[in-house]
Amino acid sequence: MSTFRRRVIPDATIARLPIYQRCLMELEEDGRKKASSEQLAELAGVNGAKVRKDLSYFGTYGTRGVGYDVPHLLHEIRRELGMTHDWPCVIIGAGNLGSALAKFGGFVDRGFSVVAIMDVDQSKVGHQVGSLTVRHEDELPEVVKEFDISIGIITTTAAAAQDVADQLVEAGVRSILNFAPATLDVPYGVLVRDVDVAIELQILAFHEERRALSEAEIV
Amino acid sequence: MSTFRRRVIPDATIARLPIYQRCLMELEEDGRKKASSEQLAELAGVNGAKVRKDLSYFGTYGTRGVGYDVPHLLHEIRRELGMTHDWPCVIIGAGNLGSALAKFGGFVDRGFSVVAIMDVDQSKVGHQVGSLTVRHEDELPEVVKEFDISIGIITTTAAAAQDVADQLVEAGVRSILNFAPATLDVPYGVLVRDVDVAIELQILAFHEERRALSEAEIV
DNA sequence: GCAACTTTGTGAACAAGTGAACAAGCTCGG
DNA sequence: CCGAGCTTGTTCACTTGTTCACAAAGTTGC
Ligand SMILES: NC(=O)c1ccc[n+]([C@@H]2O[C@H](COP(=O)([O-])OP(=O)(O)OC[C@H]3O[C@@H](n4cnc5c(N)ncnc54)[C@H](O)[C@@H]3O)[C@@H](O)[C@H]2O)c1
Ligand SMILES: NC(=O)c1ccc[n+]([C@@H]2O[C@H](COP(=O)([O-])OP(=O)(O)OC[C@H]3O[C@@H](n4cnc5c(N)ncnc54)[C@H](O)[C@@H]3O)[C@@H](O)[C@H]2O)c1
pLDDT digits (tens, 9 = 90+) for A2-36: 334 457 899 999 999 999 999 999 999 999 999 99
pTM for this prediction:
0.95
Select from A55, A57, A53 the least CA-distant residue to A23.
Answer: A55
Residue nearest to nucleotide C25 (CA to C1'): A64
> Taking CB atoms and an 8 Å limit, are B205 and A43 in contact across chains?
no
Structure confidence by residue, pLDDT tens digits, A67-82: 999 999 999 999 999 9
C-alpha dihedral (A121, A140, A170, B209), degrees to nearest 10: -120
CB B150 within 8 A of CB B174: yes
The predicted structure's pLDDT at residue B153: 98
The predicted structure's pLDDT at residue A91: 98
The predicted structure's pLDDT at residue B6: 52
Q: Counting ligands in written order, which one lies closest to the CA of residue B180?
A: 2
List, in sequence order, the alpha helices (H) in chain B. Answer: 11-29, 37-44, 48-56, 70-81, 96-103, 140-147, 158-170, 197-218
Select from A139, A87, A144 the least CA-distant residue to A111.
Answer: A87
For chain B, the first-to-last Cα distance in angstroms comes to 68
Select from A93, A213, A18 the least CA-distant residue to B199.
Answer: A18
CATH architecture of A87-198: 3-Layer(aba) Sandwich (3.40)
**What's the maximum distance between 2 C-alpha atoms anywhere in chain A?**
67
From residue A58, how far is each of A8, A9, A85, B118 by CA, in Å?
A: 9, 8, 19, 43
B168 lies within 8 A of chain A by CB: no
Is the alpha carbon torsion for B42, B46, B48, B54 positive or negative?
A: negative
The fold of B11-80 is Arc Repressor Mutant, subunit A (1.10.10)
CA distance B87 to A217: 21
Structure confidence by residue, pLDDT tens digits, A155-200: 999 999 999 999 999 999 999 999 999 999 999 999 999 999 999 9
Does any ligand 1 atom lie closer than 6 A to the CB of residue A21?
A: no
| pLDDT over 80 at A1, yes or no | no
The predicted structure's pLDDT at residue A198: 97
Which residue's CA is minimally distant from atom 37 of ligand 2? B121
CA distance B98 to B127: 13
CA distance A78 to A110: 9
Q: What is the pLDDT along chain B (219 residues), one digit of tens a residue?
A: 333 345 789 999 999 999 999 999 999 999 999 999 999 999 999 999 999 999 999 887 899 999 999 999 999 999 999 999 999 999 999 999 999 999 999 999 899 999 999 999 999 999 999 999 999 999 999 999 999 999 999 999 999 999 999 999 999 999 999 999 999 999 999 999 999 999 999 999 999 999 888 777 666
Q: Counting ligands in written order, which one lies closest to the CA of residue B201?
A: 2
Cα Rg for chain A, rounded, in angstroms?
21
The predicted structure's pLDDT at residue A213: 80
CB A134 within 8 A of CB A151: no
Within A 44-63, residues with CB less than 7 Å from strand D: 48-49, 52-53, 55-56, 60-63
> Taking CB atoms and an 8 Å limit, are A195 and B199 in contact across chains?
no
The predicted structure's pLDDT at residue B202: 98
From residue A214, how far is each of A17, A109, A209, B80 by CA, in Å?
A: 36, 44, 9, 14
Is the alpha carbon torsion for A34, A39, A45, A50 positive or negative?
A: positive
Distance (Å) from CA B206 to ligand 1 centroid? 27
CA distance B130 to B103: 5
The predicted structure's pLDDT at residue B4: 39
CA distance A110 to A112: 6
Give the H or E element holding residue B136: strand B135-136
Q: Where are the domains of chain A?
A: 11-80, 87-198
Residue to test with chain A: of B197, B208, B213, most A Cβ within 10 A: B197
